[in-house]
Structure 1
Amino acid sequence: MELVCPAGNLTSLKAAVDAGADAVYIGFRDATNARNFEGLNFDHDSMAQGIAHAHARGRRVFLALNTYPRPEGWPTWQSAVDRAADLGVDALIAADIGVLDYASTRHPGLNLHLSVQGSATSYEALRFYHEQFGVRRAVLPRVLSMAQVRQVVEHSPVQIEVFGFGSLCVMVEGRCLLSSYAAGKSPNTHGVCSPAAAVQWVETSKGLETRLGGVLVDSVPKGANAGYPTLCKGRYQVDGQTCYAIEQPTSLNTLDLLPELTEAGVAAIKLEGRQRSPAYVRQVTQVWRAAIDSCLRDPEHYRPLQEWQQVLGRVSEGQQTTLGAYARTWQ
């Protein structure tokens, strides 16, 4: 089972590789990348350095080119595919059918992975991507139960990668346009959820308000911690109550499920967090490297160590973790 870790910059890439990642996933500094935040990601030189650092240590580098092109911007996505091939990335993670078609036709030797942004939740969908574009691996959305993951893996013609830790996405993963409502940009089209230019922090007599594009997302008392404002994880008035109407801020943590994921035949565990710090990347990579190694040595007697859970708990969104959809026995 491969450990695939996030890297939002060169420092994070080196931290992940040196802490035990088998592969890292990165992105360009443009809208081709669903984590297109200011100050993050790679230009040509830093990407070349990162690839060299990883390859010298026997590790792999995947490029996330996982957004959906707008017609006027198509040349940007074509150029990104060409640059990725020239740089020698080990895999291109893509979602858009046009991007996959261009990559498979123009660069037939390029290893293609289907992004979680593709929202493929059935083996029939995976068979389509495999037959049409030669996709070799797919990242499953975080909406499937453990039973559903097993079924997909059993019948899939491609390797399956699943998220093991990190911030959760909601509803139909890969199709989030909520950010566009308030800020005019979304992860799917511009590569950014809640762009910093649209974020407002407003001090009031009652405490701190967080707003996105003028839309009130949350309000906390004075002295309390306020999370980064995203519409899906905001609090709203519903039926006379103020609550997290769509998704409560929390993080996925599947350390307990490692034996089941291994037995199911999952090829890789992916950690979320390209927008997080190098310190975060180093800590979660170290924990998951130790956990996967322990599970593979003796899956029958594997148990997550308390110190692992404590480290992950400290860096989790809202300092809370969940098994997410994996634990939905009714699915």
Structure 2
Amino acid sequence: MPAAEKPHLVCPAGSLRALTSAIDAGADAVYLGLKNATNARNFAGLNFDEAQVREGLAYAHARGRQVLMALNTYADARDERPWQQAVDQAAALGADALIVADTAVLAYAHRHHPRLRLHLSVQASATSYEAIEFYRERYGIQRAVLPRVLTLSQVQHVIRHSPVEIEVFGFGSLCVMVEGRCALSSYATGQSPNTAGVCSPPSAVQWMERPEGVEARLNGVLIDRYAPDEPRGYPTLCKGRFEVDGRLDYALEEPTSLNTLALLPQLIAAGVKAIKIEGRQRSPAYVAGVTRVWREAIDQAFSQPRFSPKPAWAQELGRWAEGQQGTLGAFDRPWR
């Protein structure tokens, strides 16, 4: 391949077990969050306290891998101290980089810890090289995670015109919205996913048994109804089924997972620095299974002149995909 270097495989860690599973399966880096509102996957029972971060860092660094800490929610303007303290904590613990969206948090990190690597979170919704350059000039970011709304040609355009490392999502749940700007959940629950850390706050989720099936509600709003034997995913408003013009269907987005295995040669040739797997809210088994496939696929796509995804890879990833379905998402828009 003509690429200068092989892209890093960046995998999710919602727990210490998921972290070790990702490292053992071949991840070059893992990303994690703290057990507080600084983390955009702030689910009960997940994420890391300080002792667990120390243990995870030691495990990763002993094997030559990296740990990236996600401080990717927007700080409360009334009290920014939790985000500032999280930045200080990450620096003291020896995190390899911070993943940040909020300009105030970026400014604090850049000012107080100038040697700490900063990665621009997908939550910042920077979709052009001009936007990325703004963050590089002012806050010294070294990598930007692109939102999942760009075509492959648009990703290539950004890389050609930016000195900043570019990271893209390779596999996992899709977001129908421009990341960082969703208002659906906040409309229904009064809690923004950009600050509360989850699309559907657990306190607002209700499962109700009815004669016609199991209802999923978000703060009382009916967003789906399942047959008794039908698989049920975590309920989010954008992936609910609604009646529109007399037809009941997924009105906004059908449950499916992004899967860009088929585009690996093009992503590598474009100079993508890192490929990210979504899923800090998912199980260690998901992390291990998906990481193993992507480790093998990246290695082969980088080293072999001809690359074709193996059927076994598709079968394994299908086990973990939402609705057991995969899509290239915005990377491939036939109508353009």
Tell me the equivalent position of 1:301: 306
What secondary structure does 1:223 align onto? coil
Alignment of 1:251-262 (within 5 A): 251-262=257-268
Q: Deviations over 1:186-211 (max 9, x none)?
A: 32011122122211111111111111
Q: One-letter code of the match for 1:219?
A: R
Q: Are 1:79 and 2:85 matched, yes or no?
A: yes
Q: Do 1:207 and 1:221's aligned partners in 2 also have CA atoms closer than 8 Å?
A: yes
Alignment of 1:126-205 (within 5 A): 126-205=132-211
Tell me the equivalent position of 1:40: 46
**In 1, Cα distance between the equivalents of 2:323 and 2:113?**
42
Deviation at 1:136? 0.3
**TM-score in terms of structure 1 length:** 0.98
Alignment of 1:1-331 (within 5 A): 1-298=7-304, 300-330=305-335
**TM-score in terms of structure 2 length:** 0.96
Q: Do 1:126 and 1:157's aligned partners in 2 also have CA atoms closer than 8 Å?
A: no
Q: Deviations over 1:13-40 (max 9, x none)?
A: 0000111000000000011000000000
**In 2, Cα distance between the equivalents of 1:177 and 1:72?**
21
Structural RMSD (CA):
1.0
Ranges in structure 1 where 5+ consecutive residues have no aligned partner: none
**In 2, Cα distance between the equivalents of 1:161 and 1:216?**
36
Q: Do 1:145 and 1:329's aligned partners in 2 also have CA atoms closer than 8 Å?
A: no
Moved more, 278-287 or 184-193: 184-193
Deviation at 1:177? 2.5
What secondary structure does 1:279 align onto? helix
**In 2, Cα distance between the equivalents of 1:41 and 1:191?**
12
**In 2, Cα distance between the equivalents of 1:180 and 1:49?**
35
Q: Deviations over 1:264-309 (max 9, x none)?
A: 11011000000000011000000000000011111x3111110011
Q: Deviations over 1:238-258 (max 9, x none)?
A: 222222111111000000000
Tell me the equivalent position of 2:3: none
**In 2, Cα distance between the equivalents of 1:327 and 1:114?**
24
Q: One-letter code of the match for 1:149?
A: V
What secondary structure does 1:72 align onto? coil
Q: Deviations over 1:50-108 (max 9, x none)?
A: 00100000000000000001122311111111101101100000001101001000100
Q: One-letter code of the match for 1:62?
A: L
Moved more, 30-39 or 201-210: 201-210
Deviation at 1:227? 1.8
**In 2, Cα distance between the equivalents of 1:41 and 1:323?**
29
Identity rate, percent: 63
Ranges in structure 2 where 5+ consecutive residues have no aligned partner: 1-6
**In 2, Cα distance between the equivalents of 1:248 and 1:221?**
17
Deviation at 1:139? 0.3
Deviation at 1:330? 4.8
